[in-house]
Amino acid sequence: MRVTLQEELDQLEAALQEEGALVLRALRGCLNALEQSDVELADEVIAFDDEVDDAYLAIEEGIQSLLARQTPVAVDLRLVLAILHDNLHLERMADYCVTISKLTKLVQDVPHDQTLLEGFEEMGQRAEEMIRVALDSFRDRNAARAESLVDLDELIDRANRRVVGHVLSLGGDPALREWGLRMIIVSRCLERIGDHAVDIGEQTAYLVSGDFREFTDASHGPGTTPRDL
Amino acid sequence: MVMSDMESAPAAPARIAGVDEKILAERAREAASTRRDVLFDVSRLTVSYADVPALKGVSLEIYKNFVTAFIGPSGCGKSTFIRCFNRMNDLIPSANVDGTILYHGIDLYGPEVDSVEVRKRIGMVFQKPNPFPKSIYDNVAFGPRVLGWKKDLDARVERALRHAALWDEVKNRLKASAYSLSGGQQQRLCIARCLAVEPDVLLMDEPASALDPISTTAIEDLMHELKREYTIVIVTHNMQQAARVADMTAFFSVEVDEEQDRRTGVLVEYDATPTIFTNPGDKRTEDYVTGRFG
């Protein structure tokens, strides 16, 4: 039994879960800032990204060191590779939270549409749930639960597709239209967070089965029509 | 409409990446190099010493121009197994080999087969370098002389030393004793000695385990070069060595019979090396390669 290797793998995995908890805090923060037009909170979320980046770098360095010294193979190798990918996915999620916060600051003096804001709260909650499912199914090595992320993602995707229509229906007021255009990007950010959660799910399935496959085929599946983009 | 159009459309890469003749040629070469021509076909092989089986029921195929590694814990029968390929077990009076090994389709243990001819075609390198107490030149020339190949002996010796990546280091002192060489050089000299009789296969039983890391790297690089012309079978304790050099890896383990106090080697899994080290099919292989064995 390679005690040191196992300890290092455990530490890396724990660090990944901690990074996930940071991302959840960033997401909740940017959603609250958006809903309440809270510019201070938005600034906090932007500054908080440094913590996520530090967590990301620590995991990256840990993996580099482990690969150099321990030459993991088989399930250990797959775990390291999965953590390597998941680490990047979590870091990107936090970046989207920063983008949402910056957009929140940009529209602080512009009129809002309450219906759309409530829609974002719902999308955000779904994104939070997806991150939790992604992290839990990874921890539990539960490939079936990881694949259930596809269905959750479909709900966010649908909400995202409705946003454009809603923005178009906001009318001709230039200020409201500016707000709407920026909100399309907010919606896109939340939708992308969901995509990254699905990617983490795919890594879980790879870790468990040893075979990598995409849950949905983005090149040939239903996502290819312009309407679905 | 859009969807069905896209589904029936030709694959995108032809338009995006273009078709590069060089890439196609490279792919054809790769496909040829990964083609599996069976050289040895082992079927239900059991080796016993004094009627006690050391290795039981092994069946596998060894492919031409591949490096094939046998790994496993001590006592799993991997050295016993590799010695079957050139009938080295014949030299142990109590050893008995059951089952068949076909070499180019011919039964290696058939009555008409000359074991000396077998050992000429299927050379062997051992754990500890074992040069003869002769000059470097005479070590390499030994085999050809025994076979009566007197013509162009110098050229033959040079070619074997070059193939063993030793020529540049010894060309100015061919008359010096083989014992004046370092351990790593002696091992490459033993490889040159094998190559001088133009074998088909090189069997290597822990060829680098007595060598320092630099010499080990030299031997591993050499294996990579040699597999263009020869088929190589290697036994190694060093799993990372197997991962580095082998195309195919066979994992052997030990079955313990507590009642009779017997330990018998068995083949657990045989697959492409990347599979063995990323996604082995058997739990016992996984436990061994990840260091969780026992």
Q: Which fold has domain A3-228?
A: Methane Monooxygenase Hydroxylase; Chain G, domain 1 (1.20.58)
Parent domain of B220:
36-289
pLDDT for B3 equals 42
Q: What is the mean pLDDT of each run of 10 residues along chain B (294 residues)?
A: 43 55 71 81 96 94 96 93 92 92 94 90 93 97 94 95 93 96 94 95 93 88 92 94 94 92 94 92 94 73
What does the block give as tokens for A226?
């312009």
Closest CB to B279 among A210, A222, A226: A210
The pLDDT assigned to A218 comes to 67
Rounded to whole angstroms, how far apart are CA atoms B200 and B40? 12
Interface residue of A2, A5, A70, A73 to substitute, partner B, most B CBs within 10 Å: A73
Q: Is residue B173 part of a domain?
A: yes
Q: Is the pTM of this model over 0.95?
A: no
Report, as ranges of residue numbers, the positions in chain A whose pLDDT lies below 70. Answer: 1, 218-229
Confirm if A148 and A214 have CB atoms less than 8 A apart.
Answer: no
Instruction: Walk across the sheet containing B38-49 and list its strands.
Output: B106-107, B95-103, B38-49, B52-63, B262-272, B248-257, B67-71, B231-235, B201-205, B122-125
Of B259, B258, B239, whose CA–CA distance to B250 is shortest?
B239
Alpha carbon separation from A186 to A47, A180, B68, B138, B283 (Å, rounded): 19, 10, 55, 80, 47
| Cβ distance of B279 and A73 shorter than 8 Å | no
Query: Whats the size of chain B, residue-wise?
Result: 294
pLDDT at site B6: 43
- DSSP for residue A138: H
Task: Give per-residue pLDDT as tens, A135-152.
Answer: 999 999 999 999 999 999
Look at chain B and report how many structural domains it folds into: 1
Instruction: Name the residue among A75, A77, A224 with its Cβ closest to that of B3.
Output: A224
Which of B1, B238, B278, B283 to mutate: most A Cβ within 10 Å? B278
pLDDT score of B14 = 52
B289: which chain A residues are within 8 Å (Cβ-Cβ)? 73-74
Q: How far, in Å, CA of A205 to CA of A10, rounded?
A: 19
Chain B's closest residue to A212, CA to CA, is B279
The answer to whether B268 contacts chain A (CB < 8 Å) is no
Query: Looking at chain A from residue 44 to 73, which residues have their Cβ under 8 Å from any Cβ of chain B?
Result: 71-73
- From A129's Cα to the closest Cα of chain B, the distance in A is 31
> Does a structural domain hold residue B21?
no
Q: What is the pLDDT of residue A71?
A: 87
Task: Round to whole Å and give the CA distance between B266 and B211.
Answer: 28
pLDDT digits (tens, 9 = 90+) for A5-34: 899 999 999 999 999 999 999 999 999 999
| Pairing verdict, β B38-49 and B95-103 | antiparallel
The CATH number for B40's domain is 3.40.50.300
Residue in B131, B116, B123, B120 with CA at minimum distance from that of residue B83: B123
**CA of B248, closest CA in chain A: separation in Å?**
16
Q: To probe the interface with B, which of A75, A79, A224 has the most B CB atoms within 10 Å? A: A75
Q: What is the ipTM for the molecules in this complex? A: 0.70
Task: Flag whether residue A114 sits within 8 Å of chain B, measured between CB atoms.
Answer: no
Say what the pLDDT of residue B32 is.
64
* CB distance B137 to B167 below 8 Å: no
Q: Residue B187 has what pLDDT?
A: 94
